[in-house]
Structure 1
Amino acid sequence: MAAGEGFSPPTLADFNPPAILFGGTPFEIDRLIMIRLIMVAALLLFFVIALRSPKLVPRGVQNVAEFAIDFVRIHIAEEILGKEQGRRFLPVIATIFFIVLATNISGVTPFLNISSNGRIAMPMVLALFAWGTFVYVGIKKYGFLTYFKSSVVVPNVPPALHVLLIPIEFISTFILRPFTLMVRLMANMLAGHILLVLFFSSAWYFFFEAGNFTAIFGVASVAAAIGFTFFELLVIFLQAYVFALLTSVYIDTSLHADSH
Structure 2
Amino acid sequence: MNRVIMVRLIAVVVLMLLFWLALRKPKVVPSRGQSIIELAVGYVRDEIVYDMLGERIGKKYLPYILTLFFGILFMNLTTAIPFLNISGNGLLGMPLVLALTTYVVFIYAGFREAGGLTFLRNALFPAGVPWPLYILLTPIELVNTFLVRPVSLALRLMLNLMVGHLLLVITFSATAFFVGLMNLWSVMGVFTLAGSFIMTLMELLVSVLQAYVFSLLTTSYIQLSVAKSH
Same fold at TM > 0.5: yes
- Taking the aligned partners of 2:21 and 2:124, their CA distance within structure 1 comes to 46
Residue in 2 that maps onto 1:191: 163
Matched residue SS, 2:43: helix
- Taking the aligned partners of 2:145 and 2:41, their CA distance within structure 1 comes to 29
**1:33-68 per-position Cα deviation (integer Å, ceiling 9, x unaligned):** 011011001101111111111001111211111111
Larger Rg belongs to: 1
Matched residue SS, 1:84: helix
**1:117-153 per-position Cα deviation (integer Å, ceiling 9, x unaligned):** 1100100111111111110010112333332122101
Moved more, 81-90 or 241-250: 81-90
Q: Which has the higher helix share?
A: 2
Contact 2:174 2:192 in 1 (8 A): yes
Unaligned runs of 5+ in 1: 1-28
Alignment partner of 1:143 out of 115, 122, 146: 115
Question: Quick one: higher RCO (CA 8 Å, sep 6+), 1 or 2?
Answer: 2
User: Per the alignment, do residues 81 and 142 of structure 1 end up closer, same or farther by CA in structure 2, a change over 3 Å counting?
Assistant: closer
TM-score (norm 2): 0.96
Aligned sequence identity (%)? 44
Is 2:42 aligned against 1:82? Answer: no
Show structure 1 runs of 4+ deviating over 6 A. none
The correspondence of residues 160-179 of structure 1 with structure 2, limited to 5 A, is: 160-179=132-151
Alignment partner of 2:209 out of 235, 238, 242: 238
**1:106-126 per-position Cα deviation (integer Å, ceiling 9, x unaligned):** 000111000021100100111
Residue in 2 that maps onto 1:111: 83
**Counterpart amino acid of 1:259?**
S
User: Per the alignment, do residues 110 and 207 of structure 1 end up closer, same or farther by CA in structure 2, a change over 3 Å counting?
Assistant: same
Residue in 1 that maps onto 2:95: 123
Matched residue SS, 1:221: helix
**Counterpart amino acid of 1:154?**
P
Matched residue SS, 1:44: helix
Matched residue SS, 1:235: helix
Unaligned runs of 5+ in 2: none
Alignment partner of 2:36 out of 26, 40, 64: 64
Alignment partner of 2:177 out of 205, 218, 223: 205
Residue in 2 that maps onto 1:227: 198
Q: CA deviation at 1:211?
A: 4.4
User: Per the alignment, do residues 171 and 52 of structure 1 end up closer, same or farther by CA in structure 2, a change over 3 Å counting?
Assistant: same
TM-score (norm 1): 0.85
Residue in 2 that maps onto 1:254: 225
- Taking the aligned partners of 1:142 and 1:59, their CA distance within structure 2 comes to 41
Residue in 1 that maps onto 2:4: 32
**1:217-258 per-position Cα deviation (integer Å, ceiling 9, x unaligned):** 1000000000111111110000000000111111111110x3
Contact 2:114 2:225 in 1 (8 A): no
Equivalent residues, number:
230
Matched residue SS, 1:89: helix
Matched residue SS, 1:117: coil
- Taking the aligned partners of 2:130 and 2:49, their CA distance within structure 1 comes to 37
User: Per the alignment, do residues 133 and 193 of structure 1 end up closer, same or farther by CA in structure 2, a change over 3 Å counting?
Assistant: same
**Counterpart amino acid of 2:197?**
I
